[in-house]
Amino acid sequence: MSTPSHPDAFTHTWLEQKLGAPAGSLGAFSAKSIGTGQMSLSFRIKLNWKGGEGPASIVAKCPSADPGTRAIAAALGSYALELGWYRELAEKVSVACPKCLHLEANADESEFVLLLQDLAPAQQGDQLTGASMTQIEAALKQAARLHAPYWGDARLDDIAWLQPRPNVDVMVRQMLAPLFSQFRERYAARIASDLLDLGGELIAHTSDYFDATPKARTIQHRDLRIDNILFSPDGAAHVVDWQTLGLGAGASDVAYLIGTSVADPDIRAHEEARLVRFYVDELRMLGADADADEVWREYRLYAFAGVIMAIIASMNVERTERGDEMFAVMFERPARQALHLDSLSLI
């Protein structure tokens, strides 16, 4: 039986079986698109149980309907990474994220479905509006929970599906310059020329940047920004979208979060040293032997993480009006951060 990788292919019987409910207990269900993700699709599935056997709603995550986006996801291993997270790591690491209720995929994982806990009434952050300091601190607590358990740990080498993919590394290095040319042309009238010039300087030093080695590797989210965090009414943060996982410096996630998610550059510049200390304190409380000076150095270096993500993602996903503006701010905010921190001097 093929994997039902869209709600249109779900049936009453399939949902009952996968959610562990008695046969015939699901009266009706409906699906509504949610979220702003562009690499895959998410739906809220409302469930009407005849006798109250299951949850009132769940979230289904499925592959993109756009063939080009799916091809990029396959090349980068995006779907396989998120499936690996929920298969092996989500229950071992204490970061707050939706509970996986069911997971299945075809042999090459190009078709998949994830049935996840619905965290409503938690609300997604808004990348365009930006995050408050309270939201950033809540997210940094979760970043520390993600990073601390494997901080500098040799066990990372045993997670086969999470190891660097040489073909992906080569592809990213080769594609970055031509993609930036396209990015610069698209955003020439939207992004300040000094920031685009900084992007050009980064492209000229691509190899040196990617060859940098962190002092302590850990598991990285690699897309830890406000759009990928849900906030409960009590302010707690829950991290979603695990399709970009990798190994590297935890400070990269921190620089990416702060750089892309704080809208006001003056507030970011004033608060970032304090926020990085906050993160280091959280790591240490969780048992990680974090060197504060090294974390700060890596934070400065990896201010470019958001710049690179904006260049690559904007040119490789289905184009939308919101997406265009989102990628613009995802570039310009960390680019201003990198200028302020003199990040080029570290390459």
2 is a domain residue: no
Same structural domain, 61 and 168: no
313 is a domain residue: yes
What would the pLDDT profile of 318-347 be if each residue is shown by its tens digit? 778 888 898 999 999 999 999 999 999 999
Please say which residue of 117, 139, 157 terminates a domain: 117
For residue 19, what are the contacts with CB-CB under 8 A and spacing of at least 6? Answer: 54, 55, 58, 101, 102, 115
289 is a domain residue: yes
What is the C-alpha to C-alpha distance for residues 242 and 228, in angstroms, rounded to an integer? 9
* pLDDT value of position 51: 80
- Burial (CB count <10 Å: 0-12, 13-18, 19+), residue 34: middle
Cis peptide before 121 (omega within 30 of 0): yes
* pLDDT for residue 272 is more than 90: yes
Pairing relation of β-strands 57-63 and 40-49? antiparallel
What is the C-alpha to C-alpha distance for residues 220 and 242, in angstroms, rounded to an integer? 10
What is the C-alpha to C-alpha distance for residues 337 and 308, in angstroms, rounded to an integer? 13
Q: What is the largest CA-CA distance in the chain?
A: 65
For the entire predicted model, the pTM comes to: 0.92
Structure confidence at residue 71 as a pLDDT band (50, 70, 90): confident
What is the C-alpha to C-alpha distance for residues 60 and 115, in angstroms, rounded to an integer? 5
What is the C-alpha to C-alpha distance for residues 40 and 175, in angstroms, rounded to an integer? 22
* pLDDT for residue 1 is more than 60: no
What would the pLDDT profile of 44-57 be if each residue is shown by its tens digit? 999 999 987 789 99
* pLDDT value of position 65: 85
* Structure tokens that stand for 201 in this block: 């300087």
What is the C-alpha to C-alpha distance for residues 41 and 51, in angstroms, rounded to an integer? 30
Per-residue pLDDT averaged across 24-44, rounded?
88
What is the C-alpha to C-alpha distance for residues 21 and 195, in angstroms, rounded to an integer? 55
What is the C-alpha to C-alpha distance for residues 31 and 74, in angstroms, rounded to an integer? 26
For residue 278, what are the contacts with CB-CB under 8 A and spacing of at least 6? Answer: 137, 140
Residues in a beta bridge with 30: 46
What is the C-alpha to C-alpha distance for residues 80 and 41, in angstroms, rounded to an integer? 15
Structure confidence at residue 39 as a pLDDT band (50, 70, 90): confident
109 is a domain residue: yes
What is the C-alpha to C-alpha distance for residues 306 and 256, in angstroms, rounded to an integer? 5
Number of domains composing the chain: 2
173 is a domain residue: yes
* pLDDT value of position 36: 66
Same structural domain, 97 and 225: no
What would the pLDDT profile of 223-257 be if each residue is shown by its tens digit? 999 999 999 999 999 999 999 999 999 999 999 99
84 is a domain residue: yes
Q: Are 41 and 62 in contact (CB under 8 A)?
A: yes
Same structural domain, 145 and 239: yes
What would the pLDDT profile of 201-225 be if each residue is shown by its tens digit? 999 999 999 999 999 999 999 999 9
Least reliable range by pLDDT among 36-45, 151-160, 275-284, 333-342 = 36-45
What is the C-alpha to C-alpha distance for residues 82 and 73, in angstroms, rounded to an integer? 11
Same structural domain, 142 and 204: yes
CATH code: domain of residue 82:
3.30.200.20
Domain span at 61:
7-117
